[in-house]
Each structure stands twice: as C-alpha cells, then as structure tokens.
Amino acid sequence: MSQFLSNCSVEALAAAARILKEGSLVAFPTETVYGLGADATNANAVGRIYEVKGRPADHPLIVHIADMKYLEQWITDIPEYAIALAREFWPGPMTLILQRSELAKDFITGGQNTVGIRIPANSLALGLLEAFHNLGGAGIAAPSANRFGQVSPTTADAVKEELDGFLVSTDLVLDGGASEVGLESTIIDCTCDLPRILRPGAITIEMIKKVTGFNISSSINKESVDAKQDDIRVSGSLENHYAPKARVFLDQKPVLGSGFIALSEIETPAGVVRLAAPKTIEEFARVLYSALREGDHHNLDSIYIAQPTGDGLSIAIRDRLSRSAKGR
Ligand code: TXA
Ligand code: MG
C-alpha cells in the first residue's frame, strides 16, 4: 500500500522528489497518462518499476526531463529536424528516440543504443521534475502506471486500482486530476535521416510534416516500423496491449448487455450500457481508457466500440483500439 497525495504544493513536490532520490517510486500525472516514476540513473529503483508493472526487463523506458537543458547529458547526437520538433512540441505529448549517451544505461534502454526522452506538459509533472533536478537528479524514468499489457491509467484512482498491492509504503501516488490528452505520447524515432513514427499520438503526422518539412507518410512509417520490429522494441506496439478485462469488438453490432462507446452523434442501441458518448475526437481520446475501465467495473463481458474515422488523433485512437481488440 503506497501513500496517496492530492495536495501537491511545492513542499509536497520537493518531498516527492526526495522519495525518488532515495530510490522509491512516485506515480505522477502527465497530460497523456499517469507515469510510474523512478530515478532514471538508479538501477535498483528502475528494477522495481519492472517488478511492479510485471514488464519484461528488455523493454525500454522513457526518460522524462523538465527542460531542453537537461537533454544533452542523455544523448550523443540530435538531428536538426529533432531539434525543430523539440522546440515546437515540448513540453508536450511527444517522445523522441535519440542516440544514447553513457548516462542512459542498459536498464533504461533495454540494451539498445537509443534512449527515449520526453518533456511532459503538465504543471505537476514539471514541478516534480524541477524539484528532482534541483536535488541533482538527471531524469525520471516512467512507463505508464499500469500492469503490463493493461489499460493505461488516466486518473490517480486508476493508478491505485492497477498498482495497489504492488507498491510499498515508501512509494507515493500523486493525484493531479484526469490527464488532458488521455493517450500515450507520439513516439518518433530520430536516429535516421527521416523521422519515423513508432507510436501515433496527439502529435500527428501532419504536425510532424509541417514542422520538419519532410513529406513522410503513414504507410512509409508503417513499413519502417515493420522493418525495424526486430531491433526496436516498442512494447506499446505489441499486438495485445491496452486491453481491459472485457473483450473488445470494433465496429460491430453490439449484443444485449454489452458496453458501448461511440461519438455522441451515434445513438445508443437498445439494451447496451453506454460507457462514453464523446462529442469530439479529442474527448474520445480523453475518456477512452476510463470508459474501458468503467466497463470492467460493470463486469461486462464485452465492450463494443464504433471507431472514429479520419486522420489526426483518430489514427492514434484506432491504433490503441485495434490492440485492445486483440485481447490479452
Ligand atoms: O505518454 C507517455 O509516453 C507515457 C507517459 C507516462 O510519459 N509513457 C509511456 O511509457 O507510455 P510506456 O513505457 O508505457 O511506453 C513507452 C514506449 C514503450 O513501448 C517502449 O518500448 C518505447 O516507448 N520506448 C522507450 N524507449 C525506447 C527506445 N529507446 N526505442 C524504441 N522504443 C522505446
Ligand atoms: Mg505503457
């Protein structure tokens, strides 16, 4: 059982940073989903992340920093287009994969020569990171704060639901309300001549094209990801991920007694439990994971989802849904 904190004053964040420095875990909100944080330079602390999540040890973790000035120590090389992306979208829902420095050890990178870095756009996360840097910390490693393969938490209660029983009394969960974006960050591999999207998110392909000037297309990106599947381990790209306990069915006629998620313009079929009726694509992304959890709270056997069509954020939503539908 961990401590649970919803009063996140400057003093509270300083105390949380000390907890991290001492090698314990702190779960914290970001604008995408909640992360389970540890000192990214402490092998034992990072080892506990893997234990608590039940995650295979060779899956790399994202290092979170508060500011671009902390980037240099983690990497050896950064292409111009990655600098442009960082300037435009950080702090924000974007992770850049770059050539690692000595500081990024195998226990962070899964033995790869690259490291994933992100500056989150959430005042509480940034406050915690600043406090941690003030204590001499280099960065906070944080995967989504769920058990391996399950739905990422977008509230502190969901973190508790996922990890209670796995966290200990010296660990801490910070409550910063619901995550604004609701889907994990866009991951962009920046180790080649062109940026490649490894995981779609709220920073969309159109946004990346605009800032870098490269005419990358999603199909080119898909081929690159497939081609690199062997040497890049993106656990979020595993087929059966983001899965609730209920079976997920996409774009099919719901059976009686099942759960139903669709845009508000789509009417609720008779005899189903409406779990969410978002008005926009952004709201769809924001409420999706909590709606899946809600379905599990209702002990539903199945959840039917009418997927949003189109580009932009819809691509990320459909990416996660297709994996949810593969089950566990
Ligand atoms: O929005 C997010 O990215 C959240 C918040 C907490 O920041 N974090 C998150 O972490 O989703 P996680 O560990 O659940 O997913 C990160 C993904 C994993 O699939 C991991 O394999 C991939 O990033 N990743 C991390 N470092 C990588 C690297 N060096 N090369 C390729 N993929 C990497
Ligand atoms: Mg995850």
pLDDT score, position 172:
96
pLDDT tens track for 23-40 = 999 999 999 999 999 999
Q: Confirm or reject: Cβ of 122 under 6 Å from ligand 1.
A: no
Ligand 1: atom nearest CA of 236 is 19
Pairing of strands 273-276, 259-261: parallel
Write the pLDDT tens digit of every residue in 173-229.
Answer: 999 999 999 999 999 999 999 999 999 999 999 999 999 999 887 643 444 443 344
By most ligand atoms within 8 Å of CB, the mutation choice from 30, 184, 241 for ligand 1 is 184
CA 12 to chain centre: 24
Q: Is 30 in the pocket of ligand 1 (CB under 6 A)?
A: yes
Q: Is the CB of 61 under 6 A from ligand 1?
A: yes
pLDDT of residue 234: 54
Q: Reply yes or no on whether the pLDDT at 291 is more than 70.
A: yes
pLDDT at 219: 45
For ligand 1, atom 3, the nearest C-alpha belongs to: 185
Q: Tell me, what's the pLDDT at 326?
A: 87
Question: In this predicted structure, what is the pLDDT of residue 6?
Answer: 67
Q: Is the pLDDT of residue 57 over 90?
A: no
Ligand 1 contact, 32 CB (< 6 A): yes
C-alpha to C-alpha distance for 164 and 312, rounded to whole angstroms: 35
Give me the chain's average pLDDT, please: 92
Task: Give me the mean pLDDT over the 288-301 stretch.
Answer: 96
Residues 45 and 49: their CA atoms lie apart, in Å, by 7
227-250 pLDDT, tens digit per residue, is: 344 444 555 555 567 788 999 999
Please tell me the pTM assigned to this model: 0.94
Helix (H, G, I), strand (E, B) or coil at 63: strand
Give the Å distances, CA to CA, from 301 to 254, 255, 256, 313: 12, 10, 11, 28
Q: Which ligand is nearest to the CA of 95?
A: 1
Whole-number Å distance between alpha carbons of 56 and 102: 23
Q: What does the pLDDT average to over 112-127?
A: 97
What mean pLDDT is predicted for residues 58-68?
96
Q: Is the pLDDT of residue 251 over 90?
A: yes
Q: Report residue 327's pLDDT band, with 50, 70 and 90 as the boundaries.
A: confident
Measured CA to CA, the distance from residue 234 to residue 231 in angstroms comes to: 10
Please give the pLDDT value at position 155: 98
Question: What is the pLDDT, as a whole number, of residue 242?
Answer: 77
